[in-house]
Structure 1
Amino acid sequence: MPRKYGTTVYVRSKWPLMLRVKGTVILAIWWQVLLLAVYSSVVFVIHKFTDWKMNYSLSLVSVMGMVVSLLLVFRTNTAYDRYWEGRRLWSQMTLCVRNLTRGIWVCVAETETRDLLEKKSAINLLVAFAFATKHYLREEYGYNYDDMINLLAHIPKYSIPTSTQPMDWRTDIPTPLGSLQKESYQLPEEPQGKATASSIDPERVSTSDARTRRHQAKKQAIAFDFLTPTNIPIELSYYIGSYIKSCSNKGRVDAATLTMMNNALVSMIDCLTGFERILRTPIPLAYSIHLHHATWLYLLSLPYQLIANMGALMIPAVVLAAFTLLGILGIGYEIENPFNDDYNDLPLDDFCKVIQAEVDTMVATRAPVPADWIFSENNYPLANSHLSAKELSALSLDEVHKLMEQESTPIHHMNYSRPVNGNHNGEPLIETPAQVVPSVVVNVPVASSNAPLSKAQ
């Protein structure tokens, strides 16, 4: 099923791309194209039915067309660079989450139930970091969103000021409830008239409600204690860092893994800072305004350039030019901020769900123990040998080395496969369809026709 928001134009549809409207900027520019069509029609009527001829030879229009085209190309490339940079940073953050999950689940020792619960709780914060980053970049501030409330309900809140809004928009003093407009939620009255953590309705906030509220100008934030909008990902990094330090103090992790975990956490903060850089560094306003002015001046001058040679065909020609130029301008504006939930923005919802699914799958079973999978009856580590790893482990070290020396002798084929008739002792093997190991044949050049074969053959 295709998503309803936060996706690209490549969704399931029976219509070809040429006939699609969803995912395009047509709905945003249609009224501008219609306005230019009416304007061109007025110019044609005046030229056709009055003595006021509108066929001005404006050679400057041709020059302006080239300049506007170059400006639009630069505008689109700049916007796409921001889009691609956001995708690259999110991939880097996903890599860090994966590495930290692997380091915590596999490399951190556990000796009692408390250790296991600490590991699982720390990994849950990694998943919450991804969801909190998504909401943070969409200016959805709060802890009660339905996709992360269960992961954050137990931790204290710092209410760290956000970096996605100007300082002039923020306050450092808790706001009284009386000055806040009550919207879709109801707050119980307190005797002192002040907001406290216990007075907040713990009801979850769905992401769809959050999107509706974000477009309302009255109040965009739902901070935990009605302080300034909070930077929840930074808060989570403190708790993740405290767990890593606890593992170091208790000696549960080696130095190499500890360094990897700290580096991964630092890289996650670096990605978050990169997201903020993209969000808080739009295309300069003067450049955007000038580009709009130049584009509209060109389109408004175009009818006078074409009416002499094209007549009534000038109207569809102007409409086509307006659709093309305004469409490119609208695309650049839409992908300039790739973190919203429009069709052409990054599908952050799916990215977060992928991270959660991977992490949940990883921690669904205990961390793998090498002895469980190396010394399996289905593992035949030596080529052209019918001895499994379990059987080889019963031999002496010298005997195994001799077998490996024989394996290194050039032969026609090296077949890594389990025996068909039985093991080395002639005992039948129990076939388990789910554990059948496929054969891998490696061709090796023949050095000599008299080369000895392995003992197993």
Structure 2
Amino acid sequence: MIVRERPNAIALLFALRGSVVPEILPHIAFVALFSVVVAALSHYQLIDLTSLTIMPVTLLGIVLSILLGFRNNAAYDRWWEARKQWGQMVNEIRSLARASGALLGEDAAARRALLMQVLAHAVTLKGQLRGETVNEELLAWVSAEQRDAALAKANPADAFLAQAGGLLGEQYRQGALDSMGLKILDERLAALSGIQAASERIASTPLPFAYTLLVHRTAYVYCYLLPFALIGGMGWATPILAAAVAYTFFGIDRLSEHLETPFGRAPNDLPLDALCRIHEISVADALGEAAPAPLPVKNFQLQ
């Protein structure tokens, strides 16, 4: 995720980090080049475009604006819901750490094991959502035996929650935890399970492809029809305006694609590494241990 102070108006015009310009620049260049060809054909009277009006393109532009606006809102809703879910995870882990201190305070080892399994759950979920391997990273929180047992399951992140639930059950059977305490702590695990389910839903259910295809095709058709409607009134200035319009429509289309999948490592994706570090800090503070430093921002980007 891009983290930086807002630059001044001039610097903002030329900022590239976090922008979609590098990705859409070839498409903008093709539209501009195509507009130059149309302008040249019209200038040398090889084609007659004087009878064309801008009205059909205007109507198509209105439709395209509505489609792009709806898709962009839907994509942003996915991004924001994902951020809210991981923000809620911060709250749930802190609540679990606080409640476990009150209910398992006499058994420091069991409390620490419970919180370590929750940290392993968060890191494993991060890896699953990003399609990355976190096997070695897990050894900072759990034993190799616990890690291997979880990784052997179809859903390792959920397996760590199951291990945490098993630990609570063992404490209950030993009499170290009463039924009310078990219910309170298990509710926190259930909330973490709900966050995982919501994250998996966002990651595995993209916007309908047919809708994405319709918006993408309409944007291309509009940008390549625009020079024919503008050439009569703007002449050689047509490529400039066509490129500006292409930047707007292609940019919104590509940005929507980024926001649609918020769990990756693209500049505008969520900083899951930094959020997992917040979990580590919360748990370390609760256990009275030395807390690691928050992840730094590198090149205006927080992973």
- Normalising by structure 2, we get a TM-score of 0.88
- Which one of 123, 126, 129 corresponds to residue 115 of structure 2? 123
Name the residue aligned to 1:90.
86
The separation in 2 between residues aligned to 1:234 and 1:327, in whole angstroms, is: 38
Distance 1:160 1:53 in 2: 68
Q: Distance in 2 between matches of 1:316 and 1:243?
A: 66
Maintained 8 Å contact 1:83/1:337: yes
Query: Matched residues in 1 for 2:65 and 2:38: separation?
Result: 24
Higher relative contact order (CA 8 A, sep 6+): 2
* Aligned twin of 2:205: 281
Gaps of 5+ in 1: 1-6, 162-230, 366-457
Q: Note the 1:265-280 alignment, pairs <5 A.
A: 265-280=189-204
The one-letter code of the counterpart of 1:11 is R
**CA shift digits 1:352-401 (9 cap, x unpaired):** 11110121122026xxxxxxxxxxxxxxxxxxxxxxxxxxxxxxxxxxxx
Counterpart in the other structure of 1:322: 246
Correspondence list, 1:233-248, <5 A:
233-248=157-172
Q: Distance in 2 between matches of 1:327 and 1:76?
A: 11
Alignment match of 2:181 (pick from 249, 254, 257):
257
Q: Contact (CA 8 Å) 1:87, 1:346: kept in 2 or not? A: yes
Task: Tell me the CA shift for residue 58 of structure 1.
Answer: 4.9
Q: CA deviation at 1:123?
A: 1.1
Separation of aligned partners in 2, 1:13 and 1:323: 21
Tell me if structure 2 keeps the 8 A contact 1:43–1:303: yes
Instruction: Check conservation: 1:107, 1:253, Cα contact below 8 A.
Output: yes
Cross-structure match for 1:49: 44
How is 1:434-453 mapped onto 2 (pairs within 5 angstroms)?
none
Asked if the contact 1:83–1:336 (Cα under 8 Å) also holds between the matched residues in 2, the reply is: yes
Contact 1:99 1:264 in 2 (8 A): yes
Of the three residues 104, 111, 124, the one matched with 1:108 is 104
Distance 1:364 1:46 in 2: 76
**Partner residue in 1 for 2:27:** 32
Structure 1 match to 2:262: 338
Indicate if the aligned counterparts of 2:54 and 2:230 stay in contact, CA closer than 8 A: no
Unaligned runs of 5+ in 2: 290-303
Equivalent residues of 1:299, 1:318 under 8 A apart: yes
Q: Is the 8 A contact 1:99 1:261 kept in 2?
A: no
Matches within 5 A, 1:184-203: none
Aligned to 2:274: 350
Judging changes above 3 Å, is the alpha-carbon distance between structure 1 residues 260 and 18 closer, same or farther for their aligned structure 2 residues? farther
Q: 1:22 aligns with which of 17, 24, 33?
A: 17
The Cα of 1:116 is off from its aligned counterpart by: 2.3
Q: 1:371-450, aligned counterparts within 5 Å?
A: none
Residue in structure 2 matched with residue 71 of structure 1 by the alignment? 67
Q: Secondary structure at the match of 1:362?
A: helix
Q: Is the 8 A contact 1:46 1:54 kept in 2?
A: no
Residues 1:138 and 1:364: Cα distance change in structure 2 (over 3 Å):
same
Which residue in 1 is equivalent to 2:293? none
Confirm or deny that 1:160 pairs with 2:150. Answer: no
Displacement of 1:76: 0.3
Cα separation, 2, equivalents of 1:105 and 1:123: 10
Shift of 1:234: 0.8
SS at match of 1:151: coil
Of residues 128-137 and 35-44 in structure 1, the stretch that sits farther from structure 2 once superposed is 128-137
Deviation of the 1:139 alpha carbon: 1.2
Aligned residue number for residue 58 of structure 2:
62
The offset of 1:141, in angstroms, is 4.0
C-alpha distance in structure 2 between counterparts of 1:107 and 1:300, whole Å: 67
State the one-letter code of the partner of 1:129.
H
Of Structure 1 and Structure 2, the greater helix share is in: 2
Residues in 1 aligned to 2:160 and 2:233: alpha-carbon distance in whole angstroms: 66
Q: State the percentage of identical aligned residues.
A: 27
**Corresponding letter in the other structure for 1:124:** M
Give per-residue Cα distances to partners, 1:58-88, cap 9 Å, x unaligned.
Answer: 5221110000000000010000000011011
Contact 2:103 2:181 (C-alpha < 8 Å) held by counterparts: yes
The 1-side partners of 2:12 and 2:173 are apart by 58
